[in-house]
A and B are shown apart, each in its own frame.
Chain A
């Protein structure tokens, strides 16, 4: 309903300004600002929310504007008809361009797309048929009214309607389950991949979305301004769009709209302001960003939100009766878990080796894990434990060997595909997503939207269902009362448990845990041990840990890696008494493995 509220607000404001003032100066400034707002709204989704920085919007805005101008001038097509045609063309171009460009991430993406306005300017300056460095006029208004008054009002109303549609679509996407995928993608791409998000596809979809809306903004610009200047595709124009986005609020759709309006009105504020616009803009952007990196929208949100006093982090011990064997029986309803009962070979690593520039981090590792059980993976630092987890999880491609999951060769499968097959993991450093609640962090693993396209997020969102599943997982671990908190306010222990909850919430068949006990106190480790034992009855759990006592107590079987090789593979009894193991670990730890 947030989408309807934002859209409604926009429509009402738009009508209030356009109907009486369309033909006057103030009205035309408003309409021009809205043209830019159409572009910045898309940028808020692509750049602000999902943090895919691309400098391509001014080029697509120009493309949209020039497209409409050409269709109108040469084919006498009405601008309103030309607009969807141009959008379709832009979509196609964005698909082609995006499939190449979005293979890069982060800075690489930014620099690659930075070339686009430069290339466009160079091309345009010699393109006589497009008016060269000057630009091209057109005569087709979006709305051809009987009088100039009617035309102006019509143009204005169409602009408002288009923007309202764009705002609706964008807001729906951001508040949907796909929106959560996009958020995680923007903050931490590897974690997103590990949680099943199809990162490449989403990045492409975002690029297309941003580009299509930019082209739409350009088309509306052409149909209301009736002149397309070549400077529309400049790098400076791109920077102005970015300024509008960041001043208004990069993560907020309405913020993006407000940013466009604010900057546009600033231009016309007074001669002093416009003559010294660079100083004004520089100071404004700095002040706004210092006050809130999420721009004006962030400031407003902070003020409007009655901040609930952050509840004291509730240590696990005090969660009364939340964890106990009774609760643990509630969880196993997963078909996958049932299906894996009795599988002797859920996971097979056959001769796995990994080299980094000549250095062998893993060397001929072969192990097999059944469908249920708790298994430990130990070894001194640098032995390759995390790398092995990475190979099993999919984030590391082995140099040699194979990985089989329930008989299927998954060696080349990326992390998100393995996630779909039931592999879930935690990381050595806590990889929770700041800026979202605990509930949402866990819900990431419960999304069912991975195979759906971005468009589906507009129509239907199953975020509530994912959140419900997440709530179950949190309750299971006794963390329910933390659901609404922002993850950055949690203690380390709670963060680790939330990560664990996330890994479990996915109802995995194979659970990979990378040092979940590190940083936890004794009693906390006991709690963890209980949880892990319970998990081991439902799925296959591979646990990397330095706390040998813990590992020996709860595991059915222990693997020991040293310098990339598997040197021990057996049950905890043998583990404690093994000379190999003790000599290996004595060097670092100074003592024998303690007896039970």
Chain B
């Protein structure tokens, strides 16, 4: 009498177990070591496609998409195609963390590209580290963002150089030193530790190159007016004003406030200010007079093509490939071409690491990345396991805006 019910239970139970095992089987096994022969490598973008960082996230996404499309067209990595998927972290730290998990657990990604802000990276990094998944952050500043020290030399890597530092260095090398300027003022954003480090960077450069930082002012991100800061800076009688600002409305507000008080003092470096949309928003090319920009990709190519060193030639080649790849992916507007290098660079690093490791095993790839030694569109990496941010050179080009609105190379 008791047997009958038990058998009725047993059968569905067995079926359930079988299904569960089957489910397990299909999802597991893909992660470590080799992939099945034709399985694609999944690269997952944890990027901001909405919210305050959407502009950066979109360009990063364009660059990455174009790169992996280009890569697939030329054979992929070790014979495997790359499947690049992007998830929207909505410029939110909690979402960035969730997306990291989603990338790893649902998409079975080998590498995460992104996030693009310090807060979002700091949230997602521990997840990547916990799951031994490589994460290439596109947030500017690796050691200056305030991440816990243990995370700086682990599974997460900077995908781009510290643009803030590089901006100041470019200004010093291209303008301050050649013109023998001695009094320099700095306007920095309050976007976080990496922005506030601008002051320290410029002070160090001042000691090194023999000029004086006469005034440092802080601008709250999104402020409507910075006249108080401008007046304070101008009171110290600088010869040039350096910017350490987040690209966007802050640059316009600052330029307006400065030009209202002083129509001709040089301003450098204005990030993303060569974009036609920005120039129009700022009020036209005439407003951009005497403002210096750390160039568009096109001008980097021009400068690199004119160079004779092997690094310059390699940079020029890389940039030509970048333009070709972007156009092939249908991303042809000037705004797109000018700005999408970060995503492309991340792709370059991943490709290099996996190819030179000879295997897709994540530990091996990670070790390769710890010794990253390539030229990504003008950034010459010399990474060591104890200093992920080590760069020997950045072949960047400084520009000004001509009266007709085009960006021209500044020599």
**B88, A225: Cβ atoms closer than 8 Å:** no
- CB within 8 Å of B: which of A113-134? 122, 125-126, 128, 131-134
**B192, A267: Cβ atoms closer than 8 Å:** no
**B106, A134: Cβ atoms closer than 8 Å:** no
Kindly identify which residue among B98, B122, B126 contacts A28, using a CB–CB cutoff of 8 Å.
B98
Kindly identify which residue among B50, B88, B92 contacts A231, using a CB–CB cutoff of 8 Å.
B92
A230 CA / B93 CA spacing, docked (Å): 9
Residues of A near B130 (CB, < 8 A) are: 148
A221 CA / B123 CA spacing, docked (Å): 12
**B50, A128: Cβ atoms closer than 8 Å:** no
**B98, A268: Cβ atoms closer than 8 Å:** yes
**B49, A132: Cβ atoms closer than 8 Å:** no
**A229, B123: Cβ atoms closer than 8 Å:** yes
User: Which one of A40-48, A94-102, A270-278, A520-528 is at the interface?
Assistant: A270-278
**B119, A137: Cβ atoms closer than 8 Å:** no
Interface size of A by CB at 8 A reads 32
Residues of B near A125 (CB, < 8 A) are: 190, 220-221
Q: Which 5 A-B pairs have the closest CB atoms?
A: A229-B93, A134-B192, A227-B123, A133-B192, A274-B88
**B93, A271: Cβ atoms closer than 8 Å:** no
Q: What is the chain B residue whose CB lies nearest that of A226? A: B126
Kindly identify which residue among B50, B95, B196 contacts A132, using a CB–CB cutoff of 8 Å.
B196
**Given the known A-B contacts A132-B146, A134-B146, are A32 and B88 also in contact in the complex, defined by CB atoms under 8 Å?**
no
Nearest CB in chain A: distance from B290 CB, A? 30
Q: What is the chain A residue whose CB lies nearest that of B150? A: A139
A29 CA / B92 CA spacing, docked (Å): 13
Which one of A24, A29, A275 has the greatest number of beta carbons of chain B within 10 Å?
A: A275
Kindly identify which residue among A23, A126, A229, A274 contacts B190, using a CB–CB cutoff of 8 Å.
A126
Main SS of the interface on chain A?
helix
Residues of A near B102 (CB, < 8 A) are: 25, 268
A373 CA / B220 CA spacing, docked (Å): 70
Q: Is B86 an interface residue (CB 8 A)?
A: yes
**A277, B50: Cβ atoms closer than 8 Å:** yes
Nearest CB in chain B: distance from A466 CB, A? 44
**Known pairs A29-B98, A32-B94, A137-B147 / 13 extra A-B pairs, C-beta < 8 Å:** A25-B105, A134-B192, A137-B126, A225-B93, A227-B119, A229-B119, A229-B123, A267-B90, A271-B87, A274-B50, A275-B50, A277-B90, A278-B50
Contact with B along A220-234 (1 / 0, CB 8 A): 010001110111000
24 A–B pairs (Cβ distance < 8 Å), ordered by A: A28-B97, A29-B98, A132-B190, A133-B119, A133-B195, A134-B122, A134-B192, A134-B193, A135-B122, A137-B126, A148-B130, A227-B93, A227-B97, A229-B93, A229-B94, A231-B92, A231-B119, A267-B95, A268-B98, A268-B102, A271-B49, A274-B49, A274-B50, A277-B50
Q: Is B175 an interface residue (CB 8 A)?
A: no
Kindly identify which residue among A25, A231, A274 contacts B93, using a CB–CB cutoff of 8 Å.
A231
A154 CA / B87 CA spacing, docked (Å): 27
Residues of B near A276 (CB, < 8 A) are: 50
Residues of A near B119 (CB, < 8 A) are: 133-135, 227, 229-231
Residues of B near A137 (CB, < 8 A) are: 122, 126, 147-148
**A271, B122: Cβ atoms closer than 8 Å:** no
Nearest CB in chain B: distance from A265 CB, A? 11
Residues of B near A229 (CB, < 8 A) are: 92-94, 119-120, 123
**Given the known A-B contacts A134-B193, A229-B119, A277-B90, are A32 and B98 also in contact in the complex, defined by CB atoms under 8 Å?**
yes
Nearest CB in chain B: distance from A469 CB, A? 50
Residues of B near A225 (CB, < 8 A) are: 93-94, 97, 123
A271 CA / B122 CA spacing, docked (Å): 23
- CB within 8 Å of A: which of B84-110? 86-88, 90, 92-95, 97-98, 101-102, 105-106
Contact with B along A531-567 (1 / 0, CB 8 A): 0000000000000000000000000000000000000
Q: Is B145 an interface residue (CB 8 A)?
A: yes
**B105, A122: Cβ atoms closer than 8 Å:** no
A103 CA / B283 CA spacing, docked (Å): 47
Residues of A near B192 (CB, < 8 A) are: 131-134
Residues of B near A128 (CB, < 8 A) are: 193, 196
A111 CA / B75 CA spacing, docked (Å): 61
Residues of A near B314 (CB, < 8 A) are: none
- CB within 8 Å of B: which of A12-49? 23-25, 28-29, 32
Which one of A135, A227, A267, A274 has the greatest number of beta carbons of chain B within 10 Å?
A: A227
A271 CA / B86 CA spacing, docked (Å): 8
Contact with B along A254-281 (1 / 0, CB 8 A): 0000000000000110010011111000
Q: What is the chain B residue whose CB lies nearest that of A230? A: B119
Which one of B87, B190, B221 has the greatest number of beta carbons of chain A within 10 Å?
A: B190
Q: What is the chain B residue whose CB lies nearest that of A122? A: B220
Nearest CB in chain A: distance from B49 CB, A? 5
**B90, A133: Cβ atoms closer than 8 Å:** no
Residues of B near A221 (CB, < 8 A) are: 94
**B118, A134: Cβ atoms closer than 8 Å:** yes
Nearest CB in chain A: distance from B369 CB, A? 22
**A25, B98: Cβ atoms closer than 8 Å:** yes
**Given the known A-B contacts A132-B192, A137-B148, are A25 and B101 also in contact in the complex, defined by CB atoms under 8 Å?**
yes
Nearest CB in chain A: distance from B2 CB, A? 30
Nearest CB in chain B: distance from A154 CB, A? 16
Nearest CB in chain A: distance from B29 CB, A? 17
**B50, A131: Cβ atoms closer than 8 Å:** no
A32 CA / B101 CA spacing, docked (Å): 13
Q: What is the chain A residue whose CB lies nearest that of B104? A: A25
Q: Is B191 an interface residue (CB 8 A)?
A: yes
A221 CA / B147 CA spacing, docked (Å): 19
Residues of B near A25 (CB, < 8 A) are: 98, 101-102, 105-106
**A275, B88: Cβ atoms closer than 8 Å:** yes
Nearest CB in chain B: distance from A93 CB, A? 24
Residues of A near B193 (CB, < 8 A) are: 128, 131-132, 134
Kindly identify which residue among B105, B146, B190 contacts A131, using a CB–CB cutoff of 8 Å.
B146
Residues of A near B101 (CB, < 8 A) are: 24-25, 28
